[in-house]
Structure 1
Amino acid sequence: MVYLIVGGLIGVVLGWLLAGSKAQARQQELVDQRVEALKQDTVESTRRRVEQEVRGELQEPVREELVEKYSAEARAEADRLVQRLKREAEAEADKVIKDAEIKSRQLVLEAQKEGEAELKTRRLEQQKIEQRLSNRESNLDARAERLDEREEAVKAREQQVADGEAGLAGSQVELERQRAEVEVLLEKVAGYSAEQARAELVARMVSQAELEANRKIKAIEEQAEEEADKRAQKIISVAVQRYAGDFVAEKCVNVVSLPSDDMKGRIIGREGRNIRALEAATGVDIIIDDTPEAVIVSGFDPVRREIARRSLEKLIADGRIHPTRIEEVVGKTDQEVAQSIKEAGERAAFELGIHGLHPELIKIVGRLKYRTSYGQNMWSHSIEVGYLCGLMASELGVNVKMARRAGLLHDIGKALTHEQEGSHALIGADLCRKYGEHEVVRNAVAAHHNDEPQNSVIAHLVIAADALSGARPGARREILETYVKRLEDLERISMGFKGVEKTYAIQAGREIRVMVEHSAVDDQAAFALSRDIARKIEDELTYPGQIKVTVIRETRAIDYAR
């Protein structure tokens, strides 16, 4: 490979020299052509110059005379002059040719010098290349020697590894044999087979892992709850202390007092035409029974029930009761109730400092004044939730106006549950979207009963404020059957766990105490059991506020002194 490179370099140098000689010959040819051209130009220019001088000296008349007189002499003189000028031109051309030859020689010498300098430079570069090639060849030889040494070392190591694998295989066979003997001996001593011992070990490890996991979970929960409880207690206590609301108990029926029992006949009218007209105009049922001096107005829609109550009171006070008068009074009362509903919505927005509510939303909020849930008035409840949301938002540094807005509108769907089917939370969210409320408010309304995920802090504040307002003692009433069934469900869920001995629902269903067998549930498992019961109650039951789950593990040691 080295000889090929050297040969190539020599060929390059020879080619360069040949090209230099060709260039020199071409240069000489160009010099000769330039000298010949210069010679011809010099002779021609000299001849033209002489003719011009002669023509300038002779005038036309003199020229004619001289031509006639001295034509022979003039020709001779002209010939002599031409010969002289020709000789001068030839001398000058020779001089120019000599100068051109000298310049060409100088150019050739300069080109030779430049070629020699470049050749010298090329030779130096060639020497450097040869030196590098020589060094690289030496390095390749040394590397080849090292590779040979490594190859020999690898072969030796492979032989050692093969010998070690053979010895290891023998040792492994011996260890397997010894292990089998030890297992047989252990099975005889312990009375357990290998599978039984493995299962026992796995069961113990799982039990220990569960205990360790419960212990860590308890520590993490205690650490998190320690900070969360302090913060939550502070926020809730501040919100509760700063607000006190009135609670109005409403019923599904209204009782209208009569001045005397004779009024019942006038309300009924001839062949019942008055009572039919009143029921048709108001859309409620008028119940007239043996109750003295009282008429019952029954209706599922609280607004219609209120219109009927007011209309009946006006008719009784006026004394004129007939179908035409009934329609007139009911029409006026309908307008009055609509105006009172609007005023109630405006008053709720004014109390909470909320601006920019759509007029239709204001009317729907006012309708909540005639809507109750578990005996709690929804208009008052909505205002209270708005206040609580605002107070907790101010403690957390959240947008207070947005929180109050979401709290006021969170149960707005309940005003239309008599007219539309579905969850009141989703109905309210659709209303908020329809009338241009902010997405945070819409999500808080839709998510306060977990109908969709909560996307903001305000949504969680609405849930907390709703629970606070509904869980106050005396805020809501429940039907006895529903209350009893919830207590039974609490005890049933708690008894469904392993190790539970007894369970009691106390504090009006707001706490469940679970007694466990001390031998079946240890201290760590008791914390896990309380958490599991709480999660199952959340999944299966619907209840206001929160329910405390207390797991009690008791160990009694009894002895007698005789």
Structure 2
Amino acid sequence: AETLAEAERTAAERVAAADREAVERLEATSGLTAAEARAELLRQLTSEAATAAAAAVRRIEAQARRTAESRARRVVATAVQRTAVATSSQSSVTLVPLPSDEMKGRIIGKEGRNIRLFEALTGVNVLIDESPEHVVLSCFDADRREVATVALEALMADGRINPQRIETAYAEAQAGADHRSEEAGHDAAERAGVRGLDPELVRVLGRLRLRTSFGQNVLDHLVESALLAAQVAAEIGADVDVARRGALLHDIGKALTGEVPGTHAQVGAALAARHGESEVVVNAIAAHHDEVPAETVEAVLVQVADALSAARPGARREDVDQHVERLEQLEELVASHAGVRRALAMAAGREMRVVVEPSQVPDTDLGKLAVEIARHIEHDLSYPGEIKVTVVREVRASATAG
């Protein structure tokens, strides 16, 4: 038994010696030690595995990109197809139907008194021609045009048209503007499917019914954006209510940008925050023009819906918006002169009617003021053709008999 054990040890030693000799010969041939050979083999295997993995990742990314693009196109196409919103680009005129042709004479009044007073109060051109069915009200400012339309319709319904009734009808039409805005805001929220808006947000939202952006009605744009955002959110599993709400309110600041400093996104976000909207909705409003980072998927969806609605062929008309902006600049420039109470751009900006305070501007200074305004316009603004400046100073006196 001892001899057998010794023989086994001897055989094992010979095998080990042969292995060492083989390794030594391999090391001598390759110039590498066993440890170095293991390291080299591991490096080669690692490199091959990394190359294969990178190729696999590229294939997966390419496939994911193709799938994502196809999915995104389907989502957008589905949302647009399922959203049908009737839109129309507003112009700068309103047609008011006449109950009879005889009404034209009453509107004009004796020696044109009625029509002159109506135009002076409303800042709207009244165009009466041989057309038997309507009167045309022309003004770039939709707020003025709406007030003038309501006042004129009330006058025609009453039948009595004289300077006193004109002033009363104008005051009543102005006083009813908030009620009309509230009704329009409720209607827009209902069409968009948004519930629980603060009453002040509803009223401000309704004011946008008379605003346009590049010829596109802003309130219609908001309703369309809300419907699109909701459809896209539903397709991708985002919060439908937040996307819908943020899209409906994203341009609400445009109703206040003339009254509050800041961009319409900043003004709208601050307004929404003051009236109880969530931080997610406020961020969606503030971020829709990338002025602040979009913090949620829903904020990005508001940007998408805004772009989809604006980019729809025929939705916007740039020339009208530029024209309105030029007329607004013209009125602001003229109103900056001392003693000017109202500055009204008439006849598509070819005439400026300037109403002055009688207590500040005497009759002797009217010609001088007209020349100063004309020179100011010529120096500071670029405009086609000529602009006629008419300065009006009106003094009224009244007494009561008895």
- TM-score bracket for this pair, using the shorter chain length: 0.5 to 0.7
Say whether residues 1:348 and 2:200 are aligned partners: no
Root mean square deviation, CA, Å: 3.1
- Cα distance, 1:421–1:236 mapped onto 2, change above 3 Å: same
- Superposition TM-score, scaled by structure 1 size: 0.42
Residue 245 of structure 1 corresponds to 85
The CA deviation at 1:417 is 3.8
The CA deviation at 1:311 is 1.4
The CA deviation at 1:323 is 2.2
- Cα distance, 1:405–1:286 mapped onto 2, change above 3 Å: same
Greater Cα radius of gyration, structure 1 or 2: 1
Of the candidates 387, 404, 407, which is equivalent to residue 244 of structure 2? 404
Residue 474 of structure 1 corresponds to 314
| Secondary structure of the structure 1 residue equivalent to 2:137 | strand
The CA deviation at 1:236 is 0.8
Residue 394 of structure 1 corresponds to 234
Q: Which residue type is aligned with residue 309 of structure 1?
A: T
Deviations 1:413-455 (A, max 9, x none): 2223454565322221222123232222122112212222222
Q: Tell whether the 8 Å contact from 1:264 to 1:288 is kept in structure 2 after alignment.
A: no
How many residue pairs get matched? Answer: 264
Decide which structure has greater helix share: 1
Q: Tell whether the 8 Å contact from 2:115 to 2:126 is kept in structure 1 after alignment.
A: no
| Secondary structure of the structure 2 residue equivalent to 1:479 | helix
Say whether residues 1:288 and 2:127 are aligned partners: yes
Taking the aligned partners of 1:221 and 1:304, their CA distance within structure 2 comes to 57
Taking the aligned partners of 1:337 and 1:261, their CA distance within structure 2 comes to 29
- Cα distance, 1:422–1:295 mapped onto 2, change above 3 Å: farther
| Secondary structure of the structure 1 residue equivalent to 2:88 | coil
Deviations 1:336-356 (A, max 9, x none): 443232122112223333233
Q: Which residue type is aligned with residue 311 of structure 1?
A: A
Identity among equivalent pairs (%): 50
Taking the aligned partners of 2:71 and 2:209, their CA distance within structure 1 comes to 34
Taking the aligned partners of 2:116 and 2:60, their CA distance within structure 1 comes to 68
The CA deviation at 1:360 is 0.9
- Cα distance, 1:420–1:285 mapped onto 2, change above 3 Å: farther
Of the candidates 266, 269, 273, which is equivalent to residue 429 of structure 1? 269
- Cα distance, 1:317–1:378 mapped onto 2, change above 3 Å: same
Please give the residue correspondences for 1:326-337 in structure 2 after superposition, counting only pairs within 5 Å: 326-337=166-177
Q: Tell whether the 8 Å contact from 2:273 to 2:282 is kept in structure 1 after alignment.
A: yes
Taking the aligned partners of 1:296 and 1:220, their CA distance within structure 2 comes to 64
Q: Which residue type is aligned with residue 347 of structure 1?
A: D
Q: Which residue type is aligned with residue 221 of structure 2?
A: H
Of the candidates 292, 303, 307, which is equivalent to residue 452 of structure 1? 292
Q: Which runs of 5+ in 1 are unaligned?
A: 1-217, 483-562
Deviations 1:49-102 (A, max 9, x none): xxxxxxxxxxxxxxxxxxxxxxxxxxxxxxxxxxxxxxxxxxxxxxxxxxxxxx
Taking the aligned partners of 1:220 and 1:422, their CA distance within structure 2 comes to 46
Of the candidates 285, 292, 315, which is equivalent to residue 155 of structure 2? 315
Q: Which residue type is aligned with residue 125 of structure 2?
A: I
- Cα distance, 1:422–1:263 mapped onto 2, change above 3 Å: farther
Taking the aligned partners of 1:481 and 1:248, their CA distance within structure 2 comes to 15
Residue 367 of structure 1 corresponds to 207
Taking the aligned partners of 2:61 and 2:144, their CA distance within structure 1 comes to 51
Tell me: higher relative CO, structure 1 or 2? Use CA pairs within 8 A at least 6 residues apart. Answer: 2
Q: Tell whether the 8 Å contact from 2:246 to 2:302 is kept in structure 1 after alignment.
A: yes
Taking the aligned partners of 1:356 and 1:370, their CA distance within structure 2 comes to 23
Residue 338 of structure 1 corresponds to 178
Taking the aligned partners of 1:336 and 1:266, their CA distance within structure 2 comes to 24
- Superposition TM-score, scaled by structure 2 size: 0.58
Of the candidates 228, 252, 255, which is equivalent to residue 68 of structure 2? 228
Q: Tell whether the 8 Å contact from 2:284 to 2:302 is kept in structure 1 after alignment.
A: yes
Taking the aligned partners of 1:277 and 1:377, their CA distance within structure 2 comes to 30
- Cα distance, 1:442–1:299 mapped onto 2, change above 3 Å: farther
Taking the aligned partners of 1:481 and 1:379, their CA distance within structure 2 comes to 16
- Cα distance, 1:271–1:220 mapped onto 2, change above 3 Å: farther
